[in-house]
Amino acid sequence: MATTSPGWRELLLEHWRLARTLRRLQIAFSPERCTGLWECYEVCPVACWEPDYQRGVVAFIGSEHCIACNACVLQCSADAIELKVV
C-alpha cells in the first residue's frame, strides 16, 4: 500500500496560508465582562495589559506590541478576551 505525502509545493503553500492567518490575529477584549482578577496581566509576556485600580478591571494597552500568544485568552476565567482573525 503506497501512501502519498505532500510535496514541497503543497507544504510551502500551507505554510504561507498559516503565516498569513497568524499575522491577522488580534485580541478582542470585552471590558464589561472583566472581573478584575488581572490574570491576563500576570501571564502576558510583552506587558499588553495594565490594571486599572480605580475601576477594578484591566485595560488592554499593547495592541501594537501584542504577539498573539494566546496566554491571556487561556488564563481569563471571565471569557473577556478572544483571539480573532481580522
Whether 2 shows a pLDDT value over 80: the answer reads no
Q: Name the burial class of residue 47, with classes exposed (0-12), middle (13-18) and buried (19+) by CB atoms within 10 angstroms of its CB.
A: exposed
- What class, spelled out in words, does domain 26-85 have in CATH? alpha beta
Strands (E) across 16-74 are located at 25-29, 49-52, 57-60
**Angstrom distance (rounded) from CA 68 to CA 84:** 9
The pTM of this model reads: 0.75
Joined together, the cell numbers standing for residue 71 give 496566554
**pLDDT of 49-83, one tens digit each?**
999 999 999 999 988 889 999 999 999 999 999 99
